[in-house]
């Protein structure tokens, strides 16, 4: 495959995707380590804020490196301001809900629930866009739904005090689905610019939620020791900065549909993190999670074949 005069090795995009999957999957585990396992070092909403703040700074530096001027950025996003604002809002809700859920439930549980969002997107496409449902998509939907429901039920009965965490993870799933849908309306816009603006606006959206929690005397924790700093740098610079640069590079080679079809593997990394953190899931959760994620994989690969 040739990009300009540069010969791309066949394995390169898959190496990039492997790194991305490890970064995004590990981020759930690091969030759980810092926000949900004693000693608590950072509240989930602070983790979300610093993740996107550092991610925005990283992406701004990328734009500077690419020599994109403010006027270029303004022209690029001019017709899409409302969609970008919606995208940033949904993304902010996602990152807050997801990392606040880490205070209550293991990383693998959150990751699996969030990554069931293609089921929601499929429903949106079928009901609102009148997209044709193939046999494989229906099969994937049934597997994902059944596996997801069994997974949620087992998490509910096998873990204590998880209701709030499960609700937050579900909010994160729906918010991520909505965010993903908005990206369809931004197709053709420079993805580096979109991600930079989205990270920046989302960071500002999170601030009022933090202030509201402080106003209501919610106890928030932020201990800036070496482990917190390393974790936040990982979340912001790597998982929300470098990972997107690598992802956009993979998309340039494979195309968006093919590149995204491998992201169902992210929860498997998070579940490995559960074992590392001493929170192994039950056998039923593992089986149900595999069934659900396999259903998501079927939906993703079916979508890829129809594009």
Highest mean pLDDT of the ranges 9-13, 129-133, 150-154, 265-269: 265-269
Helix axes 191-215, 70-77, angle to 10 degrees: 90
Average pLDDT over residues 52-59: 97
Say what the pTM is: 0.91
Helix axes 12-36, 226-233, angle to 10 degrees: 140
Average pLDDT over residues 146-168: 85
Highest mean pLDDT of the ranges 4-8, 14-18, 197-201, 280-284: 197-201
How many other C-beta atoms lie within 10 A of the C-beta of residue 134?
Answer: 14
Q: Which residue, among 118, 104, 32, has the nearest Cα to 292 in the 3D structure?
A: 118
């Amino acid at each position: 495959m040739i990009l300009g005069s540069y010969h791309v090795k066949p394995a390169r995009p898959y190496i990039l995707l492997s790194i991305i999957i490890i970064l995004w999957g590990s981020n759930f585990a690091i969030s759980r380590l810092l926000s949900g396992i004693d000693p608590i070092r950072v509240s989930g909403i602070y983790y979300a804020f610093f993740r996107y703040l550092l991610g925005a700074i990283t992406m701004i530096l990328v734009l500077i490196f690419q020599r994109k001027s403010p006027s270029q950025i303004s022209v690029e996003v001019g017709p899409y301001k409302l969609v970008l604002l919606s995208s940033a809002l949904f993304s902010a809700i996602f990152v807050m809900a997801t990392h606040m859920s880490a205070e209550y439930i293991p990383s693998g549980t959150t990751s699996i629930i969030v990554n069931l969002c293609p089921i929601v997107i499929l429903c949106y496409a079928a009901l609102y866009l009148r997209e044709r449902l193939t046999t494989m998509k229906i099969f994937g939907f049934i597997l994902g739904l059944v596996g997801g429901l069994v997974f949620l039920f087992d998490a509910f009965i096998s873990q204590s005090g998880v209701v709030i965490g499960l609700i937050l993870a579900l909010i994160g799933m729906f918010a991520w689905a909505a965010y993903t849908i908005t990206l369809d309306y931004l197709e053709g816009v420079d993805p580096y610019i979109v991600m930079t603006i989205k990270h920046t606006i989302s960071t500002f959206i999170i601030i009022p939620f933090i202030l509201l929690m402080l106003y209501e005397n919610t106890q928030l924790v932020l201990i800036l020791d070496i482990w917190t700093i390393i974790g936040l740098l990982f979340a912001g610079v790597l998982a929300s900065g470098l990972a997107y640069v690598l992802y956009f590079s993979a998309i340039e080679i494979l195309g968006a549909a093919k590149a995204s079809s491998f992201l169902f593997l992210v929860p498997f990394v998070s579940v490995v993190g559960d074992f590392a953190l001493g929170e192994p899931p039950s056998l039923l959760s593992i089986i149900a999670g595999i069934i659900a994620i396999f259903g998501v994989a079927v939906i993703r690969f079916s979508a890829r074949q129809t594009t």
